[in-house]
Chains A and B, each alone.
Chain A
Amino acid sequence: MLTRREFIKLCIAGIAAMSLSDLIIPELARAFQTPGGRPMVIWLEAMTCAGDFMSFLNALRPDLQELLFKTIDLRYSNTLMTGEGRVAITELESIAGRRRGEYILIVEGTVPTMDGGTYGLIGHHPDGRPFTHLEAVRLLGGGARHLISAGTCASFGGPYAANPNPSGSKPVSAVLERRLVRERLVNVPGCPIHPDWLVGTLSHLLLYGIPDMDEHRRPRLFYGSLIHDRCPRRQHFDDGEFAAQPGDKECLYTIGCKGPVTFADCPVRKWNSGHMNWPVGANTPCIGCVSPGFPDRTSPFFAHLPDIHIPGVKRTADKIGTAVGVAAAAGIGAHAVASAITGRLSKNLMEGTEGKPAAISGAARAAVPQKPPGGAGGAGDASADAPGSSPGPGPGHAPGRVPRGIRGILRRLLARVRIKRGETRR
């Protein structure tokens, strides 16, 4: 089995040429060839568009069977399960009653609290009473061995909790006991979630315990660096070359890109099973969908924020692109180049994720629990993700660079994992 250090290296590398799932799933399968068997998973959809589940299905290469039928034991999923109505609800209640402490709860979607939670139901109890999302999250959350908020809605509220939040929607962390949140909850945001982020987090939980998290309870493995710092268009930013409209090849900052305030590894990981592309690669601005402030504090999507805070730049966005702004931006550039030369980024990323015991309590102490904002907006700070206060790594990294040491791990893994490259990479 991979050591934790090797595992973390693999996650951070975000090698665009292959899927993290391809490498990790066989490791997981091996880990669960034990008498305990496959871990039981409940995928609970609260108020959601099901986009996270759809995205999760995209992870499953080379084979859906591998994850769904051999690695985890998916007991409840509104989108996929054959059982319906009373049959489905009875199954859910029986797991909640008899399998406490055994199952992993993955919640997708926000939790409506208006009118006692009756704005959102997962169905009805066999006796006819409405079964609200609120009730389901609390019931199942209490007995879960691991708790994952999958996607931005469950993590921070997301679009349905946006102003004026007609359903009174809250993130999962806001409706569970504080103790539970502190000890067990991991937020894995994204609109939708990237399958690697979920599979990687789930694997870490199962193999090594709670991963190291930032103040928003996001694993640093995937949310440890700013998009801006690993963006392939960073040079355009540093040179003051900005896009005038979607479709242009320059830096998209002035037409709304939230990369400078968004912590995610999209530039190196990229999206969908072939690790195809990402929003900036499609010549459109990053809309900051992993941020606690999405969408209220990351919109308008196509207009740059008036007082966005970029580390190292003490100027308002209006000045970026003018001669003064370019000079300031060039300052970041010089810093970035220096960091890249010393290879500081990968070192910082590793430091940001290691040295914490895998035990729940230790990891929980290490992460500062903080009540995420309700997502209803109203905060005066225009930055989406409060980068200034984040203990994240410094800027500077040549995009696509594979940190040293990874190659050896990869070679070892690749010898074991059959990757049908010809099938998905052209």
Chain B
Amino acid sequence: MGERVTISPVTRLNGFWRIDVQIENGVVRDAWSSGIFFRGFELILEGREPRDAIYLTERICGICSSAHGMASSRALEDACGVEAPRNGVLMRSLIFAADMLQNHIRHFYLLAVPDFVEGPDMPPFLPRYNVDFRLSKNATERIMANYLESLKLTREFLEMQANLGGKAPHTHGILAGGAPVAPDADKIRYSLSVVDRARRFIMEKYIPDVYAIGEAYPDYYKIGRGHGNFLAYDQFPQAQPDGGPVHKGGVMIDGRVEGLDLETITEHVKFSWFSPEDGPRKPGVGSTHPDVRKVEAYSWVKAPRYNGRAVETGPLAAQWIARGYRRGISVMDRHVARALMTKEVAELMREWLLSLEPGKPVFESYDIPAEAEGVGTVDAFRGGLGHWVRIEGQRIARYQIVTPSAWNCSPRDDSGQRGAVEEALAGTPVENPRAPVEVGRVIRSFDPCLACAAHVIRDDGSSEDIRVS
């Protein structure tokens, strides 16, 4: 029969998350991913001024606030039919990219590294599971020194965001219509110096550290595969000189890469604490009404599906779809893909900074139409993020958000198909169910952010009895 192990809370991520795994003969047979808090952001947004959504949705997540700012701005631009001037696109892309580097580097060192590397014997590194630390004393010391240096460096990214957008987190520098801050020589020179320091850190510390951990834990190039289906939205939309994205988005289903069709995205709520609808709905017409009495539900996260399929999103998906990465699909591949992404983004930022044109406009004004609909998608730090807005009477009539962590950390859908993390956990060996460090390694490779899986979460205790066959 095996043993059921609960990890609640899963720490070192944003938000509150519970993972249940069924372990048989030392291997995970099945898993349940459960978001355990609910805020109802969509309900809070209804009836508000559409422009407020940019700053309000940033407050969904203090770690990736600029990603929501980007998606919300793009949704509003789509609805209002306005296009930001190129200078403005670059300014807000720079804020977004600085946040991306900060996110990836902080994720690796602060959140993921403690699963593989033994920290010093003091809080916050204690208490911990004291099992399976394989790195040499030297490598451990080197990586812990980089842990501290990463904090210093990532603070500089936030300073750069503040320089370009007022403050961080929760920047004021991303708006529908462009950006409020114009570039000048000082800002460009300052940002370049931050980016150059970052490039050195990424090349000399971050990427080597990822590979060093991969060398010590080669089995993690095989663990945590999942469905093998990927989704990525357009990356850095509008940032190319011709107004196109840096990389086209797409999906990879059963090994075939195709273009995206947003119309096939649906959200399932059979196993989520929301009022049942007449079948899965598209985000543009979906609703978000909590129903805590729903017995078979076990999460506050909805289950988004692409053409009925559960997909993984994030840097690894982007690397496979847009850049031809073919090394594999596993825990370590996710970390490697994330590190490669930071290197590429740092190069891009350099290009953008040098192509800014001081003196040219950064903002295009617009009026809020009486009635309109818009979609804004962006490939955020943890993967594909989409905002759907409907405006009526110049106010928000409906707002739906489908986050990367909803794709990755979703519960089962209406047909019983597991979410990406649930699937990736299946087959993971667990040495000691009392100290299931392996489970944490798999799930943190997704860089989960449960606060971002915005709809989310409640638990009334009854989930102890839930068994999904």
A123 with B62, Cβ < 8 A, contacts A82-B128, A128-B464, A295-B52 known: no
Whether A81 contacts B363 by the Cβ 8 Å rule is: no
Residues of A within 8 A of B18 (CB): 121, 123-124
A interface residues, how many (CB within 8 angstroms): 89
Whether A120 contacts B38 by the Cβ 8 Å rule is: yes
Q: CB-CB contacts of B39-74 with A at 8 A, as 1s and 0s? A: 110011000110110011001111101000000000
Residues of B within 8 A of A271 (CB): 162, 166-168
The answer to whether the Cβ of B142 comes within 8 Å of any Cβ in the partner chain is no
The answer to whether the Cβ of A207 comes within 8 Å of any Cβ in the partner chain is no
Q: CB-CB contacts of A232-254 with B at 8 A, as 1s and 0s? A: 00000000000011110000000
Q: CB-CB contacts of A49-76 with B at 8 A, as 1s and 0s? A: 1111111011011011100110001110
Residues of A within 8 A of B278 (CB): none
The answer to whether the Cβ of B457 comes within 8 Å of any Cβ in the partner chain is yes
Whether B9 contacts A87 by the Cβ 8 Å rule is: no
Residues of A within 8 A of B15 (CB): 50
The answer to whether the Cβ of A80 comes within 8 Å of any Cβ in the partner chain is yes
Whether B172 contacts A163 by the Cβ 8 Å rule is: no
Which single member of A58, A84, A133, A278 contacts B11 (CB below 8 Å)? A84
Would you call the interface of chain B mostly helix, strand, loop, or mixed? Answer: loop
Considering the chains assembled together, what is the distance between the CA atoms of A91 and B126 in angstroms? Answer: 10
Considering the chains assembled together, what is the distance between the CA atoms of A416 and B467 in angstroms? Answer: 62
Stretch in A2-10, A297-305, A327-335 touching the partner: A297-305
The answer to whether the Cβ of A113 comes within 8 Å of any Cβ in the partner chain is no
Considering the chains assembled together, what is the distance between the CA atoms of A81 and B11 in angstroms? Answer: 7
CB under 8 Å from chain A, chain B span 125-147: 125-129
Residues of A within 8 A of B193 (CB): 426
Query: Taking the nearest CB of chain A, how far is it from the CB of B244, in angstroms?
Result: 25
Which single member of A81, A192, A277 contacts B124 (CB below 8 Å)? A81
Whether A426 contacts B189 by the Cβ 8 Å rule is: yes
Whether B9 contacts A122 by the Cβ 8 Å rule is: yes
Which single member of B39, B123, B182 contacts A160 (CB below 8 Å)? B39
Whether A60 contacts B151 by the Cβ 8 Å rule is: yes
Stretch in B152-160, B306-314, B409-417, B424-432 touching the partner: B152-160
A278 with B167, Cβ < 8 A, contacts A123-B16, A273-B158, A426-B189 known: yes
Q: CB-CB contacts of B272-295 with A at 8 A, as 1s and 0s? A: 000000000000000000101000
Residues of A within 8 A of B159 (CB): 58, 272-274, 276, 424
Whether A85 contacts B7 by the Cβ 8 Å rule is: yes
Which single member of A81, A122, A283, A295 contacts B12 (CB below 8 Å)? A81
The answer to whether the Cβ of A48 comes within 8 Å of any Cβ in the partner chain is yes
Whether A91 contacts B39 by the Cβ 8 Å rule is: no
A192 with B62, Cβ < 8 A, contacts A82-B12, A123-B16 known: yes
The answer to whether the Cβ of A115 comes within 8 Å of any Cβ in the partner chain is yes
Whether A159 contacts B180 by the Cβ 8 Å rule is: no
Considering the chains assembled together, what is the distance between the CA atoms of A221 and B195 in angstroms? Answer: 36
CB under 8 Å from chain A, chain B span 111-126: 114, 119, 122-126
Q: CB-CB contacts of B436-457 with A at 8 A, as 1s and 0s? A: 0000100000000001000001
Would you call the interface of chain A mostly helix, strand, loop, or mixed? Answer: loop
Residue of B nearest to A117 (CB): B458
Whether A81 contacts B172 by the Cβ 8 Å rule is: no
Residues of B within 8 A of A158 (CB): 59
The answer to whether the Cβ of A340 comes within 8 Å of any Cβ in the partner chain is no
Considering the chains assembled together, what is the distance between the CA atoms of A130 and B38 in angstroms? Answer: 14
Residues of B within 8 A of A120 (CB): 16, 36-38, 457-458
Considering the chains assembled together, what is the distance between the CA atoms of A75 and B126 in angstroms? Answer: 8
A115 with B52, Cβ < 8 A, contacts A121-B36, A192-B169 known: no
Q: CB-CB contacts of A245-266 with B at 8 A, as 1s and 0s? A: 1110000000000000000000
Which single member of A73, A129, A246, A426 contacts B175 (CB below 8 Å)? A246
The answer to whether the Cβ of B460 comes within 8 Å of any Cβ in the partner chain is yes
Query: Taking the nearest CB of chain B, how far is it from the CB of A78, in angstroms?
Result: 5
A277 with B440, Cβ < 8 A, contacts A246-B180, A299-B49 known: no
The answer to whether the Cβ of B190 comes within 8 Å of any Cβ in the partner chain is yes
The answer to whether the Cβ of B10 comes within 8 Å of any Cβ in the partner chain is yes
Whether A78 contacts B37 by the Cβ 8 Å rule is: no
The answer to whether the Cβ of B404 comes within 8 Å of any Cβ in the partner chain is no
Q: CB-CB contacts of B157-195 with A at 8 A, as 1s and 0s? A: 011011111111110110100111110001001100100
Whether B124 contacts A82 by the Cβ 8 Å rule is: yes
Whether B44 contacts A80 by the Cβ 8 Å rule is: no
The answer to whether the Cβ of B238 comes within 8 Å of any Cβ in the partner chain is no
The answer to whether the Cβ of B246 comes within 8 Å of any Cβ in the partner chain is no
Whether A82 contacts B51 by the Cβ 8 Å rule is: no
What are the 7 A-B residue pairs with the smallest beta carbon separation, nearest first?
A51-B62, A166-B40, A282-B166, A271-B167, A123-B9, A300-B49, A85-B7
A-B residue pairs in contact (CB < 8 Å), sample of 18: A54-B169, A58-B158, A61-B155, A81-B123, A82-B126, A85-B6, A118-B458, A123-B16, A129-B461, A130-B36, A165-B44, A245-B363, A247-B179, A247-B362, A274-B163, A276-B162, A284-B172, A295-B52
Contacts A51-B59, A75-B124 known; 7 new A-B pairs at CB < 8 A? A121-B18, A192-B170, A247-B179, A282-B166, A289-B170, A301-B49, A426-B190
